[in-house]
A and B are shown apart, each in its own frame.
Chain A
Amino acid sequence: MASTLVAAPERENYLNNEYGISSWLFTTDHKRIALLYLVTITFFFFIGGFFALLIRLELLTPEGDLVLADTYNKLFTMHGQVMIFFFLIPAVPAVLGNFLIPIMIGAKDLAFPRINLLSWYLLVIGGCFMTYTILSGGVDTGWTFYTPLSTHFLDTHVIAAALAIFIAGFSSILTGLNFIVTIHRMRAPGMTWSRLPLFVWANYATAIIQVLGTPVLAISLMLVALERIFHLGIFDPRLGGDPLLFQHLFWFYSHPAVYIMILPGMGVISEIVTCFSHKRIFGYQFMALALIAIAVLGFLVWAHHMFVAGISLYAAMVFSLLSYFVAVPSAIKVFNWTATMFKGSITYSTPMLYAFGFIGLFTMGGMTGLFVAALGIDVHVTDTYFVVAHFHYIMVGGMVMAYMGGLHFWWPKLSGRMYPENWGRLAALIIFIGFNLTFFPQFVLGWLGMPRRYWQYSPEFQVLNVLSTAGATILAVGYLLPMVYFLWSMRYGKPASDNPWGAAGLEWMISSPPTTFNFDQTPTVTWEAYNYDELQEAPVER
């Protein structure tokens, strides 16, 4: 199996150059900050996952018999808030992006290393407020905070939750700012825009959304808090206000937010598919352009969350049409990944298995997007489990699988160790099966008419709910496995070479793990991205 202790003294790298807790808490090294983020978001992932498990357990029976109605409402609210703001949004950018972007462009660090550390602290402080909210009784507004329910009809910790998300939002904004400036200004000589790996393009597009969209969420939450504190009437019809204004402000950010969540994952998949097909990406320019198109168009579709909210017929039509436009670049990407595999030389490594899963499940999730974008269909399925299934297919079947794939792919680089490949493949399979069993029945439930956020439900929905809960337990096992073997590998994993996968990209030309400043000398880049024609295939490592 793996060797335990390395006999010869280890080379100096970013992990062993300094020891002690201050060397972590006051680091400005982007690689260490990435690991700080990894710990933080993993913690929140399991909290959000725990809430999900309780939700699914309650839904085993039609009656509300496990928890109180109010408790259930808090569970789904906080599941959404924790998963979205403290896991999905930071995950790929703050863990993988932070670690890899400087290396991929040939730089020694991000443009603003201290702001990078500040970003992490902001996430942690926001997380503290979130934890406080959870421990002191929770919040039950739904993650969408609709008014006037959240402003005038609930007495739970709404402001604490809003503050938690507000602060986490600034973490996101600063990360986006850092990435934009870094990618513009810190590229090594010869690293032109058209030579950038698509992972960098993906995080760049994401950063644009983070920078432009998140402040609007900040002000929306701020106004909710002010309305609660000062009994204002901006969103209260009894005082002349308009509850729909809140929805517009909220969704103006929250729709682009889903692209913040998925675009980095798409970047990861481009890296994995090329490496394990040993082929350049099919249609590089279209892929890069598609990322930017999704980011831009994503700002124009927000009111497709409001088709039955009371907006005008004509507004609804405009937003439906635009929603179909934003589907086109996503479709292009799926086709291009598939085409990349054509005539490749394919390895079934764990990251590649996750990539297969991503492409399949993202396609399903994306196609169901066509359903909900159709006005006539959406009237029936909005606010039902159909929508819940749709976004979980993209977020969990898509994004979380991409994140897991990326973690496995770059694990040798981050840690200098290989994870156990067979366990990796097993976990990927379990996750795939568990995921589909959990969420596919929910499409049927939604079509049948089961509304979302229901603590108790009509008995004819039970069979499908039981299937869904069964899937959730399998999924939980699938997610726990990597926790265990990644930790195991840090001590007992086989030491990794610089390029165990035979992959293209600057990160694979430096040591695993990298030295503190990444490069001994700033590289000059003369080759295109995904130059697999020049690269040797990796020897089959087990």
Chain B
Amino acid sequence: MSDSTPAVVEHNPDLRHHFANMEQQTETAVMGMWVFLITEIMFFGGMFAGYVIYRHLYYSAWLEGSQRMDFWWGTINTVVLLCSSLTMALAVRATQLGHRKSTVTLLIITILFGLAFLGIKGIEYWGHIVTEHQFPGPGFRFAGPNTSQVEIFFSFYFAMTGFHALHMIIGVALVSFIAYYAWKGRYGAHYYTPVENTGLYWHFVDIVWIYLYPLFYLISHVHRK
């Protein structure tokens, strides 16, 4: 029977014992992240399905709700996330090239973009919840017909953007960990899988927002406060 690696060859200190070589380990880890992201798609998918159904049933209420979104904050947030994906992708590239300082810088900028997104989201939520009383439940207030249907719109808004924000928070924490270890010199051309995987996760969370943005903010061009 053939042997895997002869004892003499010096192997990568990051090679875990149950893998035959680094290539197998890296491919496995990346595949694992992709499968995980598919489960995330299914998780959000349930909510998207519910959204589509209610939008079809209550289109005018959806229109009303969308017009009460803050178009400018939403658009700025979209730009922020797209930029953060750029810096994240550049960070992965920098790691692959072994540029430790650039890696850390780019990761930190990504974190800052992420925090900016969350901050803006916080501002929006404050407006919706505290100022406009648009949080569903007994305290919900809406002047106009179809109150309960608009309330359902806001249920979906808070549920979907809420879960998205939760994933963003996790993402920011992940990137922070990676940034710390990158600063410590853990990654380089020989081993950058954690950075790559974090990048995949980050891009996924970005893509979810790319869907949420038009679905909630862009149903109609006419916007009023």
| A interface residues (Cβ-Cβ under 8 A, vs B) | 107-113, 115, 173, 177-178, 180-181, 184-186, 189, 211-216, 218-220, 223, 226, 230-234, 238-242, 245, 249, 252, 517, 521-524
The CA of A177 and the CA of B50, in the complex, are separated in Å by 26
Nearest opposing residue in chain B for A240, CB measure = B148
C-alpha gap A375/B8 in the complex (Å): 68
Chain A to chain B contacts (Cβ below 8 Å), 14 pairs: A113-B18, A181-B32, A185-B28, A212-B39, A214-B39, A232-B136, A232-B152, A233-B155, A234-B156, A241-B152, A242-B53, A242-B54, A245-B50, A245-B53
The reply to whether A240 and B58 contact each other, CB–CB distance below 8 Å, is yes
Chain B residue nearest to A252 (CB atoms) is B46
| The one of A185, A214, A219 that contacts B24, using a Cβ cutoff of 8 Å | A185
Determine whether the beta carbon of B39 is less than 8 Å from that of A181: no
Contact of B152 among A108, A230, A240, A252 (CB under 8 A): A240
Knowing A107-B18, A177-B32, A233-B155, say if A212 contacts B38 (CB, 8 Å): yes
| 5 A-B pairs with least C-beta separation | A219-B46, A215-B43, A215-B42, A240-B148, A109-B18
Known: A185-B24, A212-B39, A216-B43. A112 touches B32 (CB 8 A): yes
Task: Name the B residues within 8 Å of A523 (CB-CB).
Answer: 1
A185 → B minimal CB distance (Å) = 4
Please determine whether A522 and B4 come into contact, CB atoms closer than 8 angstroms: yes
Q: Is the CB of B42 within 8 A of A521?
A: no
> Which residue from chain B places its CB closest to the CB of A214 in the assembled complex?
B39
Chain B contributes a number of interface residues (CB within 8 A of A) equal to 42
**Contact across chains for A233 and B27 when beta carbons are under 8 A apart:** no
| B46 with A249: CB separation less than 8 A | yes
Q: By the criterion CB–CB under 8 Å, are A211 and B35 in contact?
A: yes
Q: A177-B36, A214-B42 are in contact. List 18 more A-B contacts (CB 8 A).
A: A107-B18, A110-B18, A111-B32, A186-B24, A186-B28, A215-B45, A216-B43, A223-B46, A226-B159, A232-B137, A233-B136, A239-B152, A240-B151, A242-B57, A249-B50, A522-B20, A523-B1, A524-B1
B149 and chain A: residue at smallest CB distance: A240
Q: Could you tell me the dominant secondary structure of chain B's interface residues?
A: helix
Closest to A29 in B: B18
* Assembled-state Cα–Cα distance A214/B148 (Å): 30
Chain B window 147-176, contacts with chain A (Cβ cutoff 8 Å), 1 for yes, 0 for no: 011011001100100000000000000000
A8 to B139, CA, bound (A): 75
Chain B contacts for A186, CB-based, 8 A: 18-19, 24, 28
Chain B residue with Cβ nearest A107:
B18
**Is A180 a contact partner of B1 (Cβ separation < 8 A)?**
no
B46 touches A215 (CB 8 A): yes
Chain A residues near B149: list those with CB within 8 A. 240
B residues 1-40 near A (Cβ < 8 Å) are 1-4, 17-20, 24, 27-28, 31-32, 35-36, 38-40
Interface majority SS (helix, strand, loop, mixed), chain A = helix
Residue B47 at the chain A interface, CB threshold 8 Å: yes
What chain A residues lie within 8 Å of B57 (beta carbons)? 242
Docked pose: A406 CA to B133 CA in angstroms: 58
B138 at the interface (CB under 8 A from A): yes
Q: Is B49 an interface residue (CB 8 A)?
A: yes
- Collect the chain A residues with CB atoms within 8 Å of residue B44's CB: 219
Inter-chain contact B43/A218, CB cutoff 8 Å: yes
A255–chain B nearest beta-carbon distance, Å? 15
Whole-angstrom distance between the Cβ of A526 and the nearest chain B Cβ: 10
Report the bound CA distance from A115 to B31 in whole Å.
14
Within the complex, the shortest CB–CB distance from B21 to chain A, in Å, comes to 12
Cα A185 to Cα B36 in complex, Å, equals 16
> B43 is contacted by which of A180, A219, A517 (Cβ under 8 Å)?
A219
Query: A238–B138 Cα gap in the complex (Å)?
Result: 13
Select from chain A the residue with minimum beta-carbon distance to B135: A230
The reply to whether A181 and B1 contact each other, CB–CB distance below 8 Å, is: no
Contact residue among B27, B35, B42, B47 (Cβ-Cβ distance under 8 Å from A180) = B35
Separation of A226 and B163 alpha carbons in the complex (Å): 12
How long is the Cα–Cα vector from A178 to B29 in the complex, in angstroms?
10
Distance between Cα atoms of A285 and B188 in the complex (Å): 44
Complex CA–CA separation, A173 to B1 (angstroms): 35
Asked whether, in the complex, the Cβ of B38 is within 8 Å of the Cβ of A211, the reply is yes
Q: Which of B1, B18, B136 contacts A108 (CB 8 A)?
A: B18
Among A109, A112, A231, A249, contact of B49 (Cβ-Cβ < 8 Å): A249
* A245 surroundings in chain B (CB, below 8 A): 50, 53
Specify which chain A residues have a CB less than 8 angstroms from the CB of B53 in the assembled complex: 242, 245
**Cβ A521 vs Cβ B1 within 8 A:** yes
Q: Give chain B residues whose Cβ lies under 8 Å from the Cβ of A249.
A: 46, 49-50
Q: Give chain B residues whose Cβ lies under 8 Å from the Cβ of A517.
A: 17-18
A211 touches B39 (CB 8 A): yes
Q: Which residues of A contact B146 (CB under 8 A)?
A: 240
- Cβ 8 A contact of B148, one of A109, A218, A239: A239
Contact A215–B152 (Cβ < 8 Å): no
Chain A positions within 8 Å of B42 at CB level: 211-216
